[in-house]
Amino acid sequence: MAREQFRRSRSPSRLDDEAVYLVPIGSGHFELYTEPAEDESAGAARENAGFWRRTLHTVHDRWRQTSRAAHATRGDHPGRLVRLSDWLVRRIAESIAEQRTLWSLRTVSSASFVYPSDLSEASAAAVRERLLAHARRHHGAWLLMNVAGVAVTAILVLLPGPNLIGYYFAFRVVGHYLSWRGAGQALDRIAWRLSAEPALAELGGLAHLPRETRGERVAALATDLRLPRLAAFFDRVAVPAP
């Protein structure tokens, strides 16, 4: 089981530490959340990087352009292939957003765990372990199923045109494998430093409110936590009150 190092403090700096947030999303549910720190020197680093790293940057830039195009409004009556391509890109983008936290933990040996201040340290750690154990089982099972999907759709390479279905299953294999690895790393190897955060406790109290009512306050809390993507994530996963 992951080691615990307890420390009471405010949220750690996103520039100094890998931080995972336990976000309350309503009705007693929680999600693990992190987001990549913005690197102002990314452009300079790209120029000085080796061939493979520059290639990865190029692929990443092209993916962002493809994702933006898929989410944009197309002209009247786009072709069937265009609609299918856009649907696959949107599904992949959603999958990336959902699995980003686990992916980021694959190579981490220590991390901060920021939890709502209305939970005890022991309760927050227990929720984290439960979520990670479920994620490892879930992504392990889906990994096996999508490997089978890749094998079945491999025959489509014989057909003319891009094998979009095959590419989709291939991406899912990679995504579930990285998530499975990240969950295992977090459970077995990461040393966690715990800190309570009142802003997360307040965020949990907003989950049952309509988006238009809570939106301004959620955005303010995300700004306080220096997590610019948190508001969009919260709106997507918040569970309405029963």
pLDDT in tens, the chain (242 residues): 666 665 544 444 443 458 999 999 998 999 999 986 554 434 444 444 455 455 445 544 554 555 555 445 555 555 665 666 665 666 666 666 667 889 889 989 999 999 999 999 999 999 999 999 999 999 999 999 988 887 777 666 555 555 566 677 777 788 889 999 999 999 999 999 999 999 999 999 999 999 999 999 999 999 999 999 999 999 988 976 55
pLDDT of residue 175: 85
Question: What tokens appear for 123 in the block?
Answer: 């309760």
Give kind and range of the element (H or E) at residue 33: strand 29-33
**Rounded Cα gap, residues 28 and 33, in angstroms:** 16
pTM: 0.72
Look at residue 142 and give its three-state secondary structure: helix
pLDDT of residue 15: 37
Range 142-150 contact pairs with CB under 8 angstroms and sequence separation of 24 or more: 142/172, 142/176, 143/173, 143/176, 143/177, 143/180, 146/172, 146/173, 146/176, 147/173, 149/173
Distances (CA, A) of 148 to 24, 138, 154, 173, 220: 35, 16, 10, 9, 45
Half-sphere exposure of 16 (CA within 13 A, CB side): 4
